[in-house]
């Protein structure tokens, strides 16, 4: 009987599952939005039961669409947004809502840690990354001070995919690529580190961290309870899985230096792999990659499609309902609206900082240049352009650490929009290649399952066999020069806004 691999991806916005043949062909996929709760300003959370239901639902849908027997699934692997934090008591019962990595409640802790000279001398050489509000170290410090009973009752600290794996198997682990992006890990020595936790004022966390596992380690088997909830077969093996920024990278074929990878989902992720780790306080992050010879160098912030998602939720409820009643997604409608406008038609600029920025201190989101003749379609175009410009700012910063890329690949939800991907190519003035799968993260993590089961001897072999580049989007020169002028204006206005944001608007 033919065997298949299942990948599951819990992003900051969408929960996805997909089924692949052993050589990486997608058989079926399913997506469900998980509600982002904002109980207080700067808090971004999700209900743990809704998260589990969403996972059960996408797994069931994939099984039904694929029309296979669940016992044909050789193995499962998970990925998900890094950071944020998902915590439970010793029985595995959640002690708090899941906290998504867009959360910025813990700003004060970050400021105090950066003022401490030990950050540069003792912490950075071990963590190799900036420390920021959505990281578990900051959120746990906040919980310790503001919700001591929650902090004390917590026995297990998970990243989202590790929590969902725990729900599937009953076994608690943290997988290392994901852990390496959290400041909880001594990345240099690949271990937990009591001195690091003490620096962040959360020494007690050492006892709450589950054992570390590699991406391709067996991390349990589908339990009877989970099988009943999902339709999976009891005993199906589950791999450690990977951090979603690595999953999308490996699914985009990042197996050697020279390729720039953009992932445009909730977050703006811009990355490449290097043989030597980059350790610099001005870089967002170096993390452990799923190929042993490489490190993942990343410039990122929560400034990508999460901004469109917010705009749709706040201002396009009616259009969304109408589109869905007509069998279309609201995203398709947005793409049409953008396609009806041109970049030169409007000077409207959007700063995509609804969830903050880590390149511009104190930044808020905003539109500049709005006029009465602007229609919603111009506003949606400005949101798309602002998101691309924020990626470009990160890419300019990232390229300080590497050669001009030989090629550029793009992944994430935005790749479903032809008009948006063309905008990326025009703005970057580079051809952009896309691996043609519905979900890149699920494919990347399915490779861990393939290696764990011995179908391939390494993640590199798996990537070479399972990744097929589909489309290349070539920049349109005329549009490129229009966007270049607009991008320069975006950067100039950003600079001018900085003192205003600093003073408070």
Ligand X SMILES: Nc1ncnc2c1ncn2[C@@H]1O[C@H](COP(=O)(O)OP(=O)(O)O)[C@@H](O)[C@H]1O
Q: How far is the CB of 262 from ligand X (least distance, A)?
A: 11
Binding segment for ligand X among 38-46, 227-235, 313-321, 327-335 (CB under 6 A)? 327-335
* Least distance from ligand N3U to the Cβ atom of residue 302, Å: 7
Question: Which of 266, 346 has the CB closer to ligand N3U?
Answer: 266
**Closer residue to ligand N3U (CB): 88 or 101:** 101
Q: Which stretch binds ligand N3U (CB under 6 A): 147-155, 262-270, 471-479, 487-495?
A: 262-270
Residue 414 engages ligand X in binding (rule: CB under 6 A): yes
Angle at the Cα of 413 from the Cα atoms of 243 and 101, rounded to 5 degrees: 45
Cα distance between residue 301 and residue 43, in whole Å: 16
Question: Which residue's entry shows tokens 């052993």?
Answer: 22
Closest residue to ligand X using C-beta atoms: 11
C-beta of 236 vs 287, nearer to ligand N3U? 287
101 binds, among ligand N3U, ligand X, none (CB under 5 to 8 A by kind): ligand N3U
CB 409 within 8 A of CB 261: yes
Return the number of the residue (159 or 494) whose C-beta is nearest ligand N3U.
159
Q: What does each C-alpha distance from 390 to 372, 385, 482 come to in angstroms? A: 26, 9, 17
What one-character DSSP code corresponds to residue 416?
G
- As given in the structure block, the two tokens for residue 332 are 């398709």
Which 3 state secondary structure label does DSSP give 474? coil
3-state secondary structure of 229: helix
Angle at 115 between CA 364 and CA 179, to 5 degrees: 75
Question: Judged by CB, which is closer to ligand N3U: 386, or 475?
Answer: 386
Residue 174: strand, helix, or coil: strand
Q: How many residues does the chain have?
A: 505
One residue of 416, 429, 489, 493 binding ligand X per CB under 6 A: 416
Please report whether residue 82 would count as binding ligand N3U according to CB under 6 A: yes
- Please identify which residue in 177, 266, 442, 453 interacts with ligand N3U, judged by CB under 6 A: 266
Binding of ligand N3U by 241 (CB under 6 A): no
Tell me: does residue 352 bind ligand N3U (CB under 6 A): no
CA distances (Å), origin 102, targets 81, 220, 233: 10, 30, 34
CA angle, 234 then 237 then 240, to 5°: 135
Residue carrying the six token digits 């089961």: 453
Residue 434: phi, psi to the nearest 5? -130, 130
Q: Which is nearer to ligand X, 113 or 420 (CB)?
A: 420
Binding span for ligand X by CB under 6 A among 125-133, 158-166, 235-243, 304-312: 304-312
CA–CA separation, 358 and 399 (whole Å): 17
Options 34, 83, 230, 358; binder of ligand N3U; rule CB under 6 A: 83
* 4-23 binders of ligand X (CB under 6 A): 11-14
Residue 305 touching ligand X (CB under 6 A): yes
Q: Which residues ranging from 334 to 373 are in contact with ligand X (CB under 6 A)?
A: 335
Task: Confirm or reject binding of residue 12 to ligand N3U (CB under 6 A).
Answer: yes
Which CB atom, from 221 or from 299, has the smaller least distance to ligand N3U? 299
Select 15 or 154, whichever has its Cβ closest to ligand X. 15
Of residues 22 and 379, the one with the C-beta less far from ligand X: 379
CA separation (Å) from 115 to 110, 165, 322? 9, 37, 51
* Contact set for ligand N3U, span 159-198 (CB under 6 A): 181
- As a whole number of angstroms, the distance between CA 338 and CA 375 comes to 11
Instruction: Look at residue 356 and give the partner it binds from ligand N3U, ligand X, none, a contact being a CB closer than 5 to 8 Å depending on partner kind.
Output: none
CA-based nearest residue to 352, from 268, 448, 421: 268
For residue 339 the two structure tokens come to 């396609």
Task: Determine if 253 is a binding residue for ligand X (CB under 6 A).
Answer: no
- In this complex, which beta carbon is closest to ligand N3U, that of residue 105 or of residue 374? 105
b/e 90-129 (16+ beta carbons within 10 angstroms → b): eeeebbbbbbbbbbbbbeebbeebeeeeebeeebbebbbb
Tokens 């229009």 belong to residue: 482
Q: Which does residue 220 touch among ligand N3U, ligand X, none (CB within 5 to 8 A, set by kind)?
A: none
Would you tell me which residues interact with ligand X (CB under 6 A)? Answer: 11-14, 265-266, 305, 308-309, 331-332, 335, 412-414, 416-417, 420
Would you tell me which residues interact with ligand N3U (CB under 6 A)? Answer: 11-12, 81-83, 101, 181, 244-245, 265-267, 285, 300
């Amino acid at each position: 009987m033919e065997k298949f691999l299942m990948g599951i991806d819990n992003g900051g916005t969408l929960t996805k599952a997909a089924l692949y043949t052993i050589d990486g062909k997608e058989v079926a996929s399913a997506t469900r939005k998980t509600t982002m709760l904002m109980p207080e300003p700067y808090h971004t959370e999700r209900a743990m039961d809704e998260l589990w239901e969403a996972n059960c639902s996408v797994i069931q849908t994939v099984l039904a669409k694929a029309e296979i027997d669940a016992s044909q699934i050789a193995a499962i692997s998970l990925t998900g947004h890094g950071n944020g934090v998902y915590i439970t008591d010793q029985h595995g019962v959640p002690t708090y809502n899941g906290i998504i990595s867009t959360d910025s409640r813990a700003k004060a802790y970050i400021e105090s840690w950066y003022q401490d000279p030990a950050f540069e001398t003792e912490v950075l050489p071990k963590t190799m990354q900036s420390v920021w509000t959505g990281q578990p170290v900051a959120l746990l410090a906040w919980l310790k001070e503001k919700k001591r009973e929650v902090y004390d009752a917590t026995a297990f600290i998970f990243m989202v995919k590790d929590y969902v794996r725990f729900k599937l198997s009953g076994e608690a682990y943290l997988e290392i690529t994901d852990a390496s992006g959290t400041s909880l890990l001594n990345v240099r020595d690949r271990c937990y580190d009591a001195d690091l936790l003490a620096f962040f004022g959360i020494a007690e966390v050492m006892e709450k961290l589950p054992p570390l596992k590699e991406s391709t380690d067996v991390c349990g088997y589908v339990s009877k309870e989970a099988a009943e909830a999902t339709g999976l077969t009891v005993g199906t093996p589950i791999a450690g899985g990977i951090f979603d920024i690595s999953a999308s990278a490996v699914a985009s074929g990042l197996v050697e230096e020279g390729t720039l990878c953009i992932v445009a989902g909730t977050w703006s992720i811009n990355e490449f792999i290097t043989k030597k780790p980059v350790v610099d306080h001005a870089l967002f992050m170096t993390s452990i990659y799923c190929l042993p010879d490489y490190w993942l160098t990343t410039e990122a912030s929560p400034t990508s499609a999460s901004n469109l998602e917010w705009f749709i939720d706040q201002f396009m409820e009616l259009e969304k309902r109408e589109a869905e009643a007509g069998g279309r997604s609201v995203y398709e409608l947005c793409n049409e609206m953008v396609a009806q406008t041109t970049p030169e038609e409007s000077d409207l600029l959007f700063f995509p900082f609804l969830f903050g920025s880590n390149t511009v201190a104190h930044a808020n989101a905003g539109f500049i240049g709005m006029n009465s003749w602007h229609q919603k379609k111009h506003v949606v175009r400005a949101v798309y352009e602002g998101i691309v410009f924020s990626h470009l700012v990160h890419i300019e910063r990232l390229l300080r650490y590497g050669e001009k890329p030989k090629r550029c690949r793009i992944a994430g939800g935005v790749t479903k929009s032809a008009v948006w991907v063309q905008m990326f190519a025009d703005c970057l003035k580079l051809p952009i290649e896309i691996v043609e799968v519905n979900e890149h993260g699920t494919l990347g993590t399915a490779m861990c399952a393939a290696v764990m089961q011995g179908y391939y001897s390494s993640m590199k072999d798996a990537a070479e066999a399972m990744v097929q580049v589909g489309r290349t989007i070539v920049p349109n020169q005329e549009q490129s020069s229009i966007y270049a002028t607009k991008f320069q204006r975006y950067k100039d206005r950003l600079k001018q806004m900085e003192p205003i944001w600093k003073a408070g608007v």
